[in-house]
């Protein structure tokens, strides 16, 4: 699909999303936001800009002003466009959820190898000595630790539960953002009970015997690498093989996170200056990646 048709698809999808919102949903738009420039156009411009590898609002606005002004003749000046995008911050998580309902993201659940994989991606606003001094969006973001990267950072986590697909990237099903210090299991536990007769693979953070037993009663199996404990200091050969198999399947979501970072720069949020900007950064970029996934796989 060429870029013109992709842009049209993004716009039509966005229009469909706004058409199904409750009639009482509205935004207070400032006078300099640009008359005649709709919310659907604002999300289209921002999302498509990320898809075109533009990494910030200013570069996106400049690109559209210079090259696509005829497509969006009412595009306001930069300050007005920035205000409009930030005003839409609470809409973008809903937009992501709406897009995930697209048939493109549905997976054949009757396949014998059908399973889901769950993990989290740190969204870093500051790291190193700056992390302990950072106070941006402090009503939500905070200090956290990423064990796989051995990284202390200030920011949030993006939790993703995705359905595995052989030969391609997993298909995202549930997406959620939490403060960086929220444990992965705490963040996703409630969502496991929304599933039906499925095997879910996670890392050691999702080890919880009581939860596994409750989920098993609902036909949901949680599989994680075997965790050492006070009573268990060493694994036998079968346990080592089991953990190795789980880890090999989980590589697909690590690849998916790498793809997200490469295509959108979602992990680095060092230039974010508010909770509104944080929501726009995370869910706006994730939306762009959903479109890229839709057009590429």
Domain boundaries, the chain: 3-88, 107-271
Q: Which of 142-146, 153-157, 160-164, 165-169 has the lowest mean pLDDT?
A: 165-169
Q: What is the CA radius of gyration of the chain?
A: 21
How would residue 181 be classed by pLDDT, with cut points 50, 70 and 90? very high
Tokens of 171: 């298909």
Tokens of 59: 């570069």
pLDDT above 60 (res 29): no
Helices 275-296 and 237-264, interaxial angle, to 10°? 100
- Residue 30: the pLDDT is 47
pLDDT above 50 (res 32): no
Distance CA 68, CA 85 (A): 18
- Residue 128: the pLDDT is 87
Distance CA 234, CA 114 (A): 31
Find, among 91, 123, 53, the residue nearest to 282 by Cα: 123
Query: Hey, which residues does 222 pair with through a beta bridge?
Result: 200
Length of the chain in terms of residues written = 297
Tokens of 225: 């690498």
- Residue 235: the pLDDT is 87
Q: Are 143 and 181 in contact (CB under 8 A)?
A: yes
- Residue 24: the pLDDT is 55
Buried b or exposed e, range 174-204, using 16+ CB within 10 angstroms: bbbbbbbebebbebbeeebeebeebbbbbbe
Distance CA 255, CA 237 (A): 27
* pTM, two decimal places: 0.93
β-bridge pairing 221-223 and 151-163 = unpaired
Find, among 117, 212, 221, 104, the residue nearest to 159 by Cα: 117
Read off the pLDDT of residues 188-241 as tens digits, 9 standing for 90 and up: 999 998 888 899 999 999 999 899 999 999 899 999 998 887 777 788 899 899
Q: Are 125 and 272 in contact (CB under 8 A)?
A: yes
* Strand residue runs (E) in the chain: 116-127, 142-146, 151-163, 171-179, 199-201, 221-223
- Residue 112: the pLDDT is 74
pLDDT above 70 (res 113): yes
How would residue 167 be classed by pLDDT, with cut points 50, 70 and 90? confident
- Residue 88: the pLDDT is 94
pLDDT above 70 (res 173): yes
Q: Are 223 and 236 in contact (CB under 8 A)?
A: no
Instruction: Name the DSSP letter for residue 268.
Output: B
Q: Is the dihedral of CA 268, 137, 96, 167 positive or negative?
A: positive
* Residue 148 CB neighbours (<10 A): 10
- Residue 25: the pLDDT is 61
Q: What are phi and psi of 116, to 5 degrees?
A: -120, 155
What percentage of residues in the chain have a pLDDT greater than 70? 95
- Residue 255: the pLDDT is 96
CA distances from 73 to 5, 16, 30, 77 (A): 19, 21, 19, 11
How would residue 271 be classed by pLDDT, with cut points 50, 70 and 90? very high
Tokens of 180: 């960086």
């Amino acid at each position: 699909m060429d870029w013109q048709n992709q842009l049209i698809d993004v716009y039509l999808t966005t229009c469909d999303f706004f058409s199904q919102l409750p009639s009482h949903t509205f935004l207070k738009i400032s006078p300099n936001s640009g008359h005649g420039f709709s919310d659907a156009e604002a999300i289209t411009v921002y999302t498509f800009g990320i898809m075109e590898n533009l990494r910030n609002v200013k570069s996106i606005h400049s690109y559209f002003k210079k090259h696509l002004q005829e497509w969006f003749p009412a595009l306001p000046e930069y300050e007005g466009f920035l205000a409009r995008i930030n005003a839409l911050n609470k809409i973008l998580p809903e937009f992501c959820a709406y897009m995930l309902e697209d048939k493109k993201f549905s997976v054949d659940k009757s396949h014998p190898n059908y399973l889901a994989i769950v993990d989290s991606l740190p969204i870093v606003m500051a790291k190193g000595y700056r992390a302990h001094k950072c106070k941006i969006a402090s009503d939500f973001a905070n200090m956290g630790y990423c064990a796989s990267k051995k990284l202390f950072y200030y920011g949030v986590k993006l939790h993703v539960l995705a359905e595995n697909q052989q030969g391609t990237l997993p298909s995202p099903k549930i997406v959620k953002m939490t403060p960086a210090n929220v444990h992965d299991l705490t963040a996703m536990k409630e969502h496991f009970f929304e599933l039906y007769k499925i095997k879910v693979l996670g890392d050691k953070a999702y080890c919880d015997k009581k939860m596994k037993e409750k989920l098993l009663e609902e036909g949901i199996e949680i599989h994680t690498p075997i965790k050492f404990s006070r009573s268990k200091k060493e694994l036998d050969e079968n346990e080592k093989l089991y953990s190795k198999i789980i880890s090999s399947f989980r590589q697909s979501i690590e690849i998916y996170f790498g793809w997200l970072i490469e295509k959108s720069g979602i992990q680095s949020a060092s230039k974010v200056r508010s909770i509104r900007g944080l929501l726009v950064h995370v869910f706006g970029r994730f939306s762009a990646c959903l479109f890229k996934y839709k057009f590429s796989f």
